[in-house]
Amino acid sequence: MPLPVPVLPEGVDPAWLPVEALRPLGVRRTLIRGSGPLVDTVHGEVADACGRFGGKVVRGEEGAARGAPDGARYDLLLEVSAAEGLGAEGFAFGRDGGTTTVTASGPHGLLYGLFHVVRLGAAAFAGPVAREEHRPATALRMLDHWDNVSVHPVMGQVERGYAGGSLFWRDGRARGEAERVRAYGRLLAAVGINAVAVNNVNVREAETRLLTERLGEVAGLAEALRPYGIRTHLSVNFAAPMLLDGLPTADPLDTGVRAWWAGAVRRVYAAIPDFGGFVVKADSEGEPGPFAYGRSHADGANMLAAALAPYGGTVHWRAFVYDHRQDWRDRGTDRARAAHDHFAPLDGEFAGNAVLQVKHGPMDFQVREPVSPVLGAMPRTRLAVEVQATQEYTGQQRHVCWLGPMWSEVLRFRTDGAAGPSVAESARGGIVAVSNVGDDPFWTGHPLAQANLHTFGRLAWRPDADPCDVLDEWIGLTFPGAPARLADGLRAVLRGSWRTYEKYTAPLGVGFMVQPGHHYGPGVDGYEYSRWGTYHFADRDGVGVDRSAATGTGYAAQYAKAWAEVYESVDSCPDELLLFFHHVPYGHVLHSGKTVIQHIYDTHFEGVEEAEEARRVWAGLGDLVEPARHARVAERYEEQVRCAREWRDQVNSYFLRKSGVPDGQGRLIH
């Protein structure tokens, strides 16, 4: 039986699956062959589209692709067959003799093949197409939700969430809105995402109990997500045996602790047979972990991996571990070094179903960081690369900042130099993003931030894709039949938005010039004398952190030789990362030919001008965009321009006062 397509609550935006995007599918005749729950989902999608637009769908063996007994011909054949080499999620696509064919060896592949047809639109049914094989680059493409069950007094319902409340939890309990959760799973499946962690990595008391007496609430979410091939994961507290059952220890080598976790996992899989596994933040920013017992992170991860292994589960162990109580006076301690120092010596010690989840940069999702050296240092460990779709340091979904180009640079980066593997090729454990979704009617708060979620899914499936092509795909789906003026306008405001944001915020890779705590808006010295290890060391003579091996913290030497040599030298270090790796005078001349101080002044003026121009372009699209969407974006642009001006004026004034060097163009600096 076809599974009905979820019905969105009134006023909720359909994002990249508006009804009109399914018209090319819905006007045609489709034959579906295969069985099982996911094939029922495929059937439901096609039946709903045909019901709206007058097409027809047939399920089973009746008829054939090129001619049914009644003489009818099918335009589309969706088939689960014994095709080899496609894997569990891959599919083959082709068109011959007037019939478009999607063949998969499993139901997951058929689901992704269906959404491939939707993305192609009318092009899926035009002309002959030689057989193409499509497979995801990695088996796990995951979103980590930082959603709290109980409202945190500081962080709220969703930590670092900029799109309203949680889709899953509200005021200490499950929301129980299965239809919207199922609609969310549908959006994710349409871009190839196949896993979701449903709670915050900072696991407090209420969230810890999701593992035991509140497990039924997690099972309810898993049931809602399952029809679209989404496996549910749970963030857990390393000290759960102590917090929940009063064990005297959480030592990962203690037999009682290991037995406790084995029992907990057994109960989880009894309730959720397709459960994905655990996400763990341990010994980081105050969270408990194996260090308390003199054990390594491999000991901690392997204990949980052993409990999960009989059921095919995975533990995702986050590598975000550093000293968060640093002395700002000590220039020898370097937060950027921490993950490599902690984890690289453990390469080869992690269990096969343990994944080390590594932030894409060594610090914390800044607008510009080098790629983490850990991603090239552990060839015998399953690694996952973690990016941040929620815009904590990139405008908090009040600013337009499309992150596709950043993520593409990271995923294509070759950690050993030109001949080595890319980050995407090294990430055998998956590609993960911190979610940017909430219960806002537009899902992501800022309607244009939907492009980040869509782009993440598509790049996780195919990391070598051109992000600009992915953006065009999002535009075509979200605005079906968009006239050229609208499509061109969307490209104009989105394509360069990451670099625009970089221009008016922290320069040349220095990072963290934000207001402490909430991280929104300029605070040039906000973290400069703090315990968090996020310094820029600006003084009257220069700015930047010396991370060279010769005279600094030695961080540059954590890279393979090809990159260590590039980053070690001021002369070869890329301009955009100069202040991350080196402390230089304000008069230092960049490869661009400008001095550091003039670059700071120029880019901050340019960034504001570009934000103002984007606001103007958006205002001119008002006759082509649905009024509620246009108004929401216009309102956010007003805030973006206001904030960009504040960034410009505070950063430029700060460095004028520090350096005493005037702007070469004589512009007003306060």
The upper half-sphere exposure of residue 559, i.e. CA atoms within 13 Å in the direction of its Cβ, equals: 26
| Helix runs in 439-559, H state only | 450-461, 467-478, 484-494, 497-504
Compute and round to an integer the Cα radius of gyration of the chain.
Answer: 26
3-state DSSP assignment of residue 142: strand
Active site residues: 285, 364, 392
φ, ψ of residue 342 in degrees (nearest 5): -75, -40
Closest CA to 136 of 179, 178, 88, 77: 88
Helix (H) or strand (E) holding 303: helix 297-308
Residue 426 CA to residue 424 CA, distance in Å, equals 5
Tens of pLDDT, residues 180-221: 999 999 999 999 999 999 999 999 999 999 999 999 999 999
Residue extents of the structural domains in the chain: 19-134, 141-478, 502-545+583-659
Residue 277 CA to residue 271 CA, distance in Å, equals 13
Count Cβ atoms within 10 A of the Cβ of residue 205 and give its class: 0-12 exposed, 13-18 middle, 19 or more buried. Answer: exposed
Q: Evaluate whether 366 touches 387 at the Cβ level (below 8 Å).
A: no
CATH 3.30.70.1230 is right for the domain spanning 502-545+583-659: no
Both tokens assigned to 336: 């950027």
Q: What is the pLDDT of residue 67?
A: 47
CATH architecture for residues 19-134: 2-Layer Sandwich (3.30)
Q: Find the angle CA(546)-CA(281)-CA(521) to the nearest 5 degrees.
A: 55
Number of other CB atoms surrounding residue 665 within 10 Å: 9
Tens of pLDDT, residues 555-571: 999 999 999 999 999 99
Tens of pLDDT, residues 50-61: 999 999 999 986
Query: According to CATH, what is the number of the domain 141-478?
Result: 3.20.20.80
Most distant pair of Cα atoms in the chain: their distance: 86
- Lowest average pLDDT, out of 84-88, 99-103, 312-316, 386-390, goes to 84-88
Q: Find the angle CA(146)-CA(151)-CA(154) to the nearest 5 degrees.
A: 85
The proportion of the chain whose per-residue pLDDT surpasses 70, expressed as a percent, equals: 98
Residue 418 CA to residue 163 CA, distance in Å, equals 39
Q: What is the pTM of this model?
A: 0.97
**Looking at the chain, how many residues does it have?**
670
Q: Evaluate whether 546 touches 578 at the Cβ level (below 8 Å).
A: no
φ, ψ of residue 358 in degrees (nearest 5): -115, 125
Residue 184 CA to residue 191 CA, distance in Å, equals 11
Tens of pLDDT, residues 134-152: 999 999 999 999 999 999 9
Q: What is the pLDDT of residue 69?
A: 44
Helix axes 215-225, 178-191, angle to 10 degrees: 50
Let me know how many helices (H) and strands (E) the chain has, helices first: 20, 20
> What are the residues whose beta carbons fall under 8 Å from the beta carbon of 1, sequence distance 6 or more?
40, 43
| Helix runs in 309-389, H state only | 338-343
147 beta partners: 158
Q: What is the pLDDT of residue 62?
A: 46
Residue 467 CA to residue 451 CA, distance in Å, equals 11
